[in-house]
Amino acid sequence: MRFGVCTFITDEGLRPDELAAALEQRGFDSLFVSEHTHYPVAAPAPPDTDMPARDYLRSMDPFVALTAAAAATRRLSLGTGIALVVQRDPLTLAKQVASLDVLSGGRLRLGVGAGWLREEMANHGTDPKTRMALMRERVLAMKQIWTQERAEFHGQFVDFDPVYSWPKPAQKPHVPVLVGGNGPTVFDRVLEYGDGWAPNLLGPPESLVADIAELRRRADAAGRGHVPVTLIGADRRGFTGRAGPIDPLSAGELSVLAEGGVDECVFFRDAGQDRGAALRFLDRLAELTEEFRDPLVRGAG
């Protein structure tokens, strides 16, 4: 099983290049970056909190942060966990993604989601009621841009006549798209326009394993073959109801996930930690995951 970290990158704490280098030195496989473009003052706080966390309020643009991370590393996989495609123009986002994939040497994965903060997406002109349909069309349109010399798309929400757009991604046929979410229709989205599934952990590991078995059954029936699963947020708070500090899964829980078909396990990281605390947390994760790593990756850097 591969391992990585997902975090907001802010103007406080570790810089993205420092974090990426530290992950690569410890043999981790990936860095995923979350995003909020802004947090409306009138919006309610996230569930079970009095106000948004500082990382929600101070987060950097994920693609700028990942560019700095790419420049500081050689092999670390880079990803969005997740990019709010319903808040981004698909022509612009397609170019950003392709450009970063080229500059990183083909190390990017695009995790996508429709978001939950309705006030935020409304400020981008997105109707929360139709955001899933909008996400679908924007992803499909970007795949056309990445793979066609003359790309065009004609949908309900995305509509453009033939265009030229370079660069094309370094990866072929295109940057892998990981569809985020745990809802009842997420497998429909994964199988239609995704190249992998990026769930959160909302219940015990055994419940995710059961979902993976169902996804793989449906994928086989559709002739899709193996669909990679990247768990974003290997954190016990999602199913224990605990608030407070990040609580990584135990070795026993990781074992359940490894045997149950998770390809990559990505831990949340507190963006507000100072350098010393941040590096100690990465050391803790490195020790926790050592026994589950590919022997060829251990100690790489």
For residue 78, being part of any structural domain is answered with yes
pLDDT of residue 297 exceeding 60: no
Q: d(Cα 30, Cα 79) in Å, to the nearest integer?
A: 7
pLDDT of residue 2 exceeding 90: yes
Global confidence as pTM: 0.95
Per DSSP, which regions of 166-297 are E strands?
A: 177-180, 196-198, 230-232, 264-268
For residue 173, being part of any structural domain is answered with yes
Confidence tier at 301 by pLDDT (50, 70, 90): very low
Helix (H) or strand (E) holding 163: strand 159-163
For residue 244, being part of any structural domain is answered with yes
Domain count within the chain: 1
For residue 297, being part of any structural domain is answered with no
For residue 160, which amino acid is it? F
Q: d(Cα 259, Cα 53) in Å, to the nearest integer?
A: 34
For residue 300, being part of any structural domain is answered with no
For residue 145, which amino acid is it? I
The CATH number assigned to the domain holding 262 equals 3.20.20.30
**What range defines the domain where residue 211 resides?**
2-292
For residue 239, being part of any structural domain is answered with yes
Confidence tier at 243 by pLDDT (50, 70, 90): low
For residue 298, being part of any structural domain is answered with no
Query: In this structure, how many other beta carbons lie within 10 angstroms of the beta carbon of residue 32?
Result: 28
pLDDT of residue 300 exceeding 60: no
* Exposure string for 140-156, b = 16+ CB within 10 A, e = fewer: bbbbbbbeeeebebeee
For residue 65, being part of any structural domain is answered with yes
